[in-house]
Amino acid sequence: MTPTTDETRGVRAITWARRKQATAGVWREFARDRGGLIGLGGLVLIVLLALLAPVLTDETALEVTNTTAQPRQPPSAQAWLGTDRDGISVLLLVWWGARVSLLIGFSAALLSVFIGTAVGILAAHFGGWLSTTLMRFTDFFLVLPTLVLAIALSAVLPRGIGTIVLAIGVASWPTTARLARAQTLTIEARPYIERAKALGAGHRHVIGKHVLPAVLPLVFAHTTLVVANSIIAESTLSFLGVGDPSRPSWGGILQAAFNSGAVSQGAWWYLLPPGIGIVIVVLCFTLCGRALETVLNPRLRGQR
């Protein structure tokens, strides 16, 4: 006999109602944090603008051959944020650069969080020599100067967005691994895991039903911070000259500005906008992440 559809629906309804309630609760808590809301609003706006760049602007204006404006002009009615060394509008450069910076930031963060979560949960759940080895490795990568490692990686690999994503992702996963491991250990020390085991649960049940649902929200909150870090790391790497010159990110624009002598000429309009872009995006991510962490990690509640 199989359960009737009515029954399964009833059971699912209970589960879904529970999940909806939990999500609503998280949102209510999050909405109380003004910083978090501002960060979220800012992010939505920036991501939308970046996505809509091809609709709202003319990409061909980025080509050196298509520009007629004078190079290095301060802001004016024609070019609101002035022009760069080739006479291209800085506003347009920054707008399109946002796409590259955000793309790399998100991809590198996803890569790093994926490696970190897997390593962290495995190390905490299985214990024994596997755990020792994994954690030794994590600790080792944790203390390595990430930028130097990323520089080394991007120096030896072919240039391009993929290399930068790989370099940042590989260099920055250990913090996530630590977090996932700590949270898994906390959860696995709870008596309800003991209860599940006494009920006959195996590894898959314990990880799938108890550990992952508790670890993922924290990892999610942490991811926003990792994205922020990745965007900074990307800008630094591009500034040092390992970026993709054909699709300049914010860091790439700054490198071009630095190398073309914008500092000595006092061309502040060339240097300020990309940097302010980075600061705003990173700040938004950080505010969001801190607010989310406070909501999802009750231990931190009332601290920030």
Partner 1 sequence: MSDVLTGIEQPADEEAARGAPRGSGAVRFLLGKLGSALLSLALVVVLGFLLFRMIPGDPVVTMTRGRPVSPEQLAELRERLGVDKPMWQQFVDYIGGLLRGDLGTSYLFQRPVADLLTERLGPTLLLVGTATLLAIVLGLWFGIRSAWRRNSRFDKVSTGTALTLWSMPQFWLGLLLLIAFAGVFPSGGMRYSDTPPDVFSQTLDVAYHLVLPCLTLTAAVYAQYLLVMRSSLLEEMNAEYLTTARAKGLRDDLVRRRHAVPNALLPTVTLVFLQFGMVLNGAVAVETVYSWPGLGLLTYEALSGPDLPVLQGAFLVLAAAVILMNVLADLLYRVLDPRVRAT
Partner 2 sequence: MTENPGTDGAVLLELRELSVRYRAARDELPAVRGVNLRLGAGETLGLAGESGCGKSTLAMSVLRLLPRSARVDGQVLLDGEDVAAMRWGRLRAVRWASASVVFQGAMHALNPVRKVYDQIAEPILLHDSDQRPDEPPAVRHRVHELLDQVELPAGKAEAFPHELSGGQKQRVMIAMALACDPRLVIADEPTTALDVIVQAQVLELMSRLVAEHHIGLIMISHDLSVLASTCQHIAVMYDGEIVERAPSEQLMRAPQHAHSKALAAAFPTIGDPASRFAPATSNPLPEQPSERPVGEPVLRTEELRVSFRARGGRTVRAVDGVDLEVGENEIVALVGQSGSGKTTLARTLLGLQRAESGRVLFRGTPLPTSTSGLRDYRRQVQLVLQDPTSALNPRHSVYEAVAEGPRIHGLTTDEIGRVTRALEAAELRPAERFMSALPHELSGGQKQRVVIAGALALEPAVLVADEPVASLDASVRGEILALLLRLRIELGLSALVITHDLGLAWNIADRVAVMYRGELVEVGTVEDVLLDPRHEYTRSLLAAVPGGTHRAEPANGLRH
Name the site residues for partner 1 (rule: CB under 8 A): 136, 139-140, 142-149, 151-153, 155-158, 228, 232, 235-236, 239-242, 251, 254, 258, 263-264, 266, 268, 271-272, 274-275, 278-279, 282-283, 286-287, 299-300, 303-304
CB of 219 to partner 2, least distance (A): 15
CB of 189 to partner 1, least distance (A): 19
Q: Does 210 contact partner 2 by CB under 8 A? A: yes
Asked if 269 and 75 count as a contact pair (C-beta separation under 8 A), the reply is yes
Pick the closer one to partner 2 by CB: 197 or 304. Answer: 197
> Using CB distances below 5 to 8 A depending on partner kind, what does residue 279 bind out of partner 2, partner 1, none?
partner 1
CB of 15 to partner 1, least distance (A): 35
When binding is defined by CB under 8 A, the residue of 47, 214, 240, 272 that contacts partner 2 is: 214
- Based on CB atoms, which residue is closest to partner 1, 125 or 251? 251
Q: Binding partner of residue 11 among partner 2, partner 1, none, CB under 5 to 8 Å per kind?
A: partner 2
Each residue 55-94 as x (binds partner 2 by CB under 8 A) or -, in order, gives ----------------------------------------
Which residues, including other chains, have CB under 8 Å from residue 83's CB and lie 6 or more apart? Answer: 67, 69, 70, 71, 72, 73, 89, 90
Is 17 a binder of partner 2 (CB under 8 A)? yes
Nearest Cα to Cα of residue 278 among 215, 216, 234, 213: 234
In this structure, are residues 75 and 255 in contact, taking their beta carbons and an 8 Å threshold?
no
**Amino acid, single-letter form, for residue 245:** P
Q: Which residues pair with residue 83 across a beta bridge?
A: 89
Instruction: Tell me how far apart the alpha carbons of residues 248 and 237 are, in angstroms, rounded to a whole number.
Output: 12
Residue whose tokens read 């911070």: 225
- The region of 6-14, 176-184, 245-253, 282-290 touching partner 2 under the rule CB under 8 A is 6-14
Distance between CA 252 and CA 93 in Å, rounded? 10
Write the DSSP string, 91-130: HHHHHHHHHHHHHHHHHHHHHHHHHHHHHHHHHHHH-HHH
- Would you say 84 or 188 has its CB closer to partner 2? 188
Provide, rounded to whole angstroms, the least separation between the CB of residue 73 and partner 2: 55
Asked if residue 195 binds partner 2 (CB under 8 A), the reply is: yes
Minimum CB separation of residue 264 from partner 1 in Å reads: 7
Distance, first Cα to last Cα, the chain: 54
Find the DSSP H helices in the chain. Answer: 5-31, 34-51, 53-56, 90-126, 128-143, 146-156, 161-188, 191-198, 203-205, 212-239, 250-259, 268-296
Asked if 202 is part of the footprint of partner 2 (rule: CB under 8 A), the reply reads yes
The nearer residue to partner 1, 67 or 116, going by C-beta atoms, is 116
For residues 304 and 290, give the distance between their C-alpha atoms in angstroms, rounded to a whole number.
Answer: 8
Residues forming contacts to partner 2 in the complex (CB under 8 A) are: 1-3, 7, 10-11, 14-15, 17-18, 21-22, 190-192, 194-202, 205, 209-210, 213-214
